[in-house]
Amino acid sequence: MYKAVKRFFDFIFSLLMLVILIPLMLPVIILLKLTGEGEIFYKQKRIGLRNKCFHIIKFATMLKNSPNMLTGSITVKNDPRLTPMGKFLRKTKLNELPQILNVIKGEMSFVGPRPLVDATFNAYPENIRYKIYHSKPGITGIGSVVFRDEESLISNAKMPPHEFYNNFIAPYKGELEIWYNEHKSFYTDCVILFATIWVVAFPSSNIVYKLFKNLPQRPDFKHAQMLKSIPAQSL
C-alpha cells in the first residue's frame, strides 16, 4: 500500500512541480548555455533500486572533465572545478531540479537514499551495500539532510578527502539509510521533505535530530577532522 501511494504521489507531484518550476528552470538553462562550458544538463550513471544502474539528470555545475580532476567523485567546499553558475546552483540546490524527470520515469522518488556513483557506493560496508537500495533512491533523504555540510566536513579534515569520506562519512551515512529502510512511511517521507526545506533555509540547524529522536548517533566528526590518518587500532 505504501509503495503504491508513494508512486502515485511521486508521479502527480513531479508533474505538478515540473509545470510550476518551468519559469524558474528556463532562466537557469539560458544562463548555463551562456556561461562556463555551455553545458546545461549533467547525466551520470548511479546505483538505483535493487542496485540496478540508471542515469541521473542534474543541471551542470562542474567542468566536464571534473571526474578525472583533483578529488574525483568527492566534492569539497569551494571546489575549483565548480563553474561560477554551478556554485550558486549547488548552494541553492537548484541543480537537483532536473531529477524531477527521473521521478516521472520511475527511476527515483522524492524521498529515499541518495543514488551514488560506484566509487562512493563501494565505500559503504559490504553488508550495507546489499540493503541500502531496497528503497527507490530519492532527490532528498535522511542522509542528504544530515550531511548537508558534507563538503565542509571533508574540506576541514586533515586527512585526504577519500580517506576521510570512506572511514567516517560513508559508514554513518550507511547507518542512516538503513534506518530509513526500517522506518520508511508516508509520514517519515513528509517529515524528511520538511526537514530538507528547513535546512536549505537554515543550514546550521540540527532540526532533523529533534524530528527523529531515534536516529543513529552522530560520530564525533570534529575529532575525526583532526586526525591525519586512521589510528592503528581502528584498522
Q: What radius of gyration, in Å, describes the C-alpha atoms of the chain?
A: 18
Q: Is 45 helix (H, G, I), strand (E, B) or coil?
A: strand
Q: How far apart are CA 159 and CA 229, in angstroms?
A: 6
pLDDT digits (tens, 9 = 90+) for 2-31: 888 899 999 999 999 999 999 999 999 999
Cβ proximity of 211 and 195 under 8 Å: yes
Copy the grid coordinates of residue 38: 555551455
Determine the Cα angle at 123 with ends 77 and 172, to 5°: 75
Q: Is 10 helix (H, G, I), strand (E, B) or coil?
A: helix
Nearest to 47 by CA among 101, 142, 152, 123: 123
Look at residue 210 and tell me whether its pLDDT is greater than 90. yes
Copy the grid coordinates of residue 164: 576521510
Look at residue 233 and tell me whether its pLDDT is greater than 50. no
Look at residue 129 and tell me whether its pLDDT is greater than 90. no
pLDDT digits (tens, 9 = 90+) for 76-109: 677 778 888 888 888 888 899 999 999 999 999 9
Compute how many other C-beta atoms are within 10 angstroms of the C-beta atom of residue 92: 11
Instruction: Indicate the pLDDT class of residue 127, thresholds 50, 70 and 90.
Output: confident
Cβ proximity of 208 and 215 under 8 Å: yes
Q: Is 185 helix (H, G, I), strand (E, B) or coil?
A: coil
Instruction: Specify the pTM.
Output: 0.84
Look at residue 232 and tell me whether its pLDDT is greater than 60. no
Domain boundaries, the chain: 2-234
Q: How far apart are CA 83 and CA 35, in angstroms?
A: 8
